[in-house]
Amino acid sequence: MTAMRQQLRVASTRAELAEVRAGLTGRVGVVMTMGALHEGHASLLRAARRDADHVLATIFVNPLQFGPNEDFQRYPRTLDSDLEVLREHGADAVFVPTVGEIYPDGEPKVRVAPGPRAAILEGAHRPGHFDGVLTVVLKLLNLTGATVAFFGEKDYQQLTLIRSMVAELNVPTTIVGVSTVREADGLALSSRNRYLSDVERAAALVLSRALRAGAGHAGHGAVAVLAAARTELAREERVAVDYLELTDPDLGPPPDSGAARLLVAAKVGKTRLIDNVGVTLVAHDPATASMERP
């Protein structure tokens, strides 16, 4: 482990990154982060370590994906501890650019248009968010020359849109989704969890409980899944739900049967959290579906 700690190279400019990247041969995996690293990020690093010859991380709090009333200035910056996490998990290098290094001309004149699936769910509550996400992801994929990139399923809509961008723009990088990492009590790991008070954290557990309740009714069809999740969410008055939606794996309408995704977003105090879970639906008799509505 000590040897790993001594090997991490830190690049802060594009020129330094290019020099580092030139020394990474074979299959290069990239893990993009905004810092404040936790076990969820560690799971991405472990997946990259297993699948690639070299692991390159990025730490960049991207202003383009934050709205005017969101927490860009407040977002945790913990570089020293982040570098330790990267060393401990065998990252070969990390790119830690300034905003000016990524956007040297200020507000970019060209952005990635993410399409209609970016206007639903998170996009409906955070207009322009995914324009900023896909723009910086594309820039970082180009700058790192990654063979494969690893993203967490907790940000499921983001993962879906990144996969579409890479496919439709012929970016030669494979996108790998990694399962959500949870605390023992079910709370999905997030850098924003540190904003929660003890009372708020207890309230936030309703999100994962609602998803489990919904998934537990998958054998009774889509209506029952949503009804069960809504009933659970209604038990916690300290949580303000932004949305609860059931979709197909590509964020379209849910199928009558087969793979689906149950997604939720809510505010707990001033902190906005998201979560989701995969669901396998079983077609249900319409004659009994009305009995399961909330």
The two structure tokens encoding residue 201 = 């954290």
C-alpha closest to that of 108 among 97, 116, 99:
99
Print pLDDT tens along the chain (294 aa).
333 444 899 999 999 999 999 999 999 999 999 999 999 999 999 999 999 999 999 999 999 999 887 888 888 899 999 999 999 999 999 999 999 999 999 999 999 999 999 999 999 999 999 999 999 999 999 999 999 999 999 999 999 999 999 999 999 999 999 999 999 999 999 999 999 999 999 999 999 999 999 999 999 999 999 999 999 999 999 999 999 999 999 999 999 999 999 999 999 999 999 999 999 999 866 555 444 444
Active site residue 41: yes
The domains of the chain are located at 2-178, 191-289
Please state the length of the chain: 294
Provide CATH code, domain 191-289. 3.30.1300.10
Active-site hit among 38, 41, 220, 284: 41
pLDDT of residue 5: 45
pLDDT of residue 70: 82
Residue carrying structure tokens 């409906």: 124
pLDDT of residue 285: 62
DSSP-derived secondary structure letter, 70: S
Pairing of strands 9-11, 271-281: unpaired
Q: Cite the DSSP H helix spans in the chain.
A: 2-7, 14-22, 39-51, 79-88, 99-102, 122-125, 129-144, 156-168, 198-215, 222-233, 286-289
Decide: pTM greater than 0.85: yes
pLDDT of residue 84: 97
C-alpha closest to that of 246 among 238, 256, 236:
256
Pick the CATH number of 2-178 from 3.30.70.260, 3.90.1150.10, 3.40.50.620, 3.40.50.12280: 3.40.50.620
Show Cβ contacts of residue 106 under 8 Å, excluding neighbours closer than 6 positions. none
pLDDT of residue 286: 58
The two structure tokens encoding residue 143 = 């700058």
Contact 251, 261 (CB under 8 A): yes
C-alpha closest to that of 228 among 208, 245, 251, 211:
211
C-alpha closest to that of 32 among 211, 40, 179:
40
